[in-house]
Structure 1
Amino acid sequence: MGAAMNPLDTAEVPSPPRRGRGRWQLILILLVVIGPMILATGMYKLQFWVPESRNYHGELIGNGQSRADIGVQADEQRWQMLVTAPQDCGPDCQQLVYLARQIQIALGRDASRACHALATAQPLDTAYDARLKREYPQLQRYPLDLATYTRETQGNGAAQLWIVDPHGNLVLRYDARVKGKDLLNDLVQLLKLSNIG
């Protein structure tokens, strides 16, 4: 007869746990959770894969500037179309003030969510001042700190219209060439996307 069989030879010996598989699962889970955040941060900081198209017509103010940063002190809690006039309120300024009022009217049922305002660094012409009081009763008026405004806008002395959110942050800027339809579309889109104001 042959050699006696060792009972340990026939018993199944459990294999050691496969740690490599568990580590790969952990790495995969971390990549799924943290990967998109790292990618989004890289896209923002390094400006890659950023879409070139845009849906707005004004100049986007994305640097966190507020109304106070351009020299206007106000405590408005609604969306605001703010016209700034660092010089006298000439034809361009007057056109923007008129446009802001018309846009607010065109908002229809959302008109109460927005307002229009004028910030001037110099006193208005007496006739135009009287006209504003008579024809623009809801127009808010503010003084404009010229030194602050000039510093923040790199000396741009032209009248401009700003869309300001209910927290006082500047969102979009337009010059006097803006078309009313474009401005209205931008503001309607902001109101639609916003749950504030």
Structure 2
Amino acid sequence: MSDAPTRPLKPAPAAQQDQLLDLTVHSLPGAGASNGAGARQTKAGRWKMIAVLLVCAAPVVASYLSYYVIRPDSRRVFGELIDPQRPLPSLQALTPEAVGVELQSLRGQWLLISVGGADCDPLCEQHLYLQRQIRESLGKDKDRVERVWLIDDLAPLRQALLPALHDATVLRVDAAALRGWLAPAAGRALPEHLYLVDPMGNWMMRFPAALDKAGAASAKRDLERLLRASGSWDTPGRQSTGAAAR
């Protein structure tokens, strides 16, 4: 092996040092560029989130527009639209078993309401029958509609009616308080009509008096249109409250 002394390394020329320094500096991303890319990613993510929310909310928004803005006027419906609508009152009712029920607890579904005394005269029986037929004819949407019988007296309930009421809501209410909410057409009595309440708890339609099967078919068409317009903002399948038979 040679014992010759190792030569010291010569420093690179100044021009070469400048070139290396320039290459090092230009190979690093600037802080501003990094922040800008992050901001663009955040903005893109925010827009994606907004788009997802709009897609999810679109059916609900469309249903509210259909019901409150584009719904048909009185010339195109069989029932009479109530304007202004009347909200469910804060009224205590009783089930046939004398259990207290707040009337406002019925919100969340469409309510097809009949009114009458507990003895249920032939007109009352006809309305109970038509309520059931209208609801059953709605097919898969029938669980979105609750048929309600509001009894406006203290007479005992006829036992023969129980089989026809197994899927109905039957409640006793104060007659005077009920008249402060629902109202018949001029020259008619309260029990002569069927009444429709929307899932928000607003009485919004009254069907004509002396309703027969042909009229019930027209009432069903009104209800079908309203169900289409209000899809996604009612609660189907609620158990009946105050059913007389279980």
TM category, shorter? 0.5 to 0.7
1:104-143, aligned counterparts within 5 Å?
104-123=135-154, 126=157, 129-143=158-172
Q: Please give the per-residue CA displacement for 1:150-189, whole angstroms capped at 9, x wherever unaligned.
A: 3453795341211111111111112442311111011101
Find the aligned partners of 2:156 and 2:208 in 1 and give their Cα distance. Answer: 21
TM-score, length basis structure 1 = 0.63
Runs of 4+ in 1 over 6 A off after TM superposition: 69-72
Tell me the amino acid that sits aligned with residue 173 of structure 1: R
- Percent identity, please: 27
Aligned to 1:184: 220
The RMSD of aligned alpha carbons is 2.8
2:105 aligned to which of 75, 99, 108: 75
* Cα distance in 2, alignment partners of residues 190 and 90 from structure 1: 30
List aligned pairs for 1:70-109, cutoff 5 A.
73-76=103-106, 77-85=108-116, 89-109=120-140
Based on CA coordinates, which of the two structures has the bigger radius of gyration?
2
Match of residue 165, structure 1, among 198, 207, 210: 198
Kept after mapping to 2: 8 A contact 1:71/1:148 = no
Q: Give, in angstroms, the shift of residue 143 of structure 1.
A: 1.6
Total equivalences in the alignment: 145
- Superposed, which structure 2 residues align to 1:9-48 within 5 Å? none
**Is the aligned partner of 1:149 residue 2:208?**
no
Is 2:87 the counterpart of 1:66?
yes
TM-score by length of 2: 0.52
CA separation of 1:95/1:162 partners in 2, compared to 1, >3 Å: closer, same or farther?
A: same
Going from structure 1 to structure 2, the CA distance change for 1:168 and 1:82 (only over 3 Å counts) comes to: same
Structure 1 spans left out of the alignment, 5+ residues: 1-50
How far apart, CA to CA, are the structure 2 residues paired with 1:124 and 1:184? 31
- Measure, in 2, the Cα distance between the counterparts of 1:140 and 1:125: 16
Compare 112-121 and 53-62 and name the one that shifted more.
53-62
SS of corresponding position for 2:75: coil
> In 1, distance between residues paired with 2:189 and 2:210?
15
Q: What is the CA deviation profile of residues 110-168 of structure 1, one whole-angstrom value per residue up to 9, with x for unaligned ones?
A: 11111101001114564xx3233222201101122211233453795341211111111
Task: Give the Cα–Cα distance (whole angstroms) in 1 for the partners of residues 222 and 151 of structure 2.
Answer: 24
Structure 1 pair 192–70 and aligned structure 2 pair: CA distance change class (3 A): farther
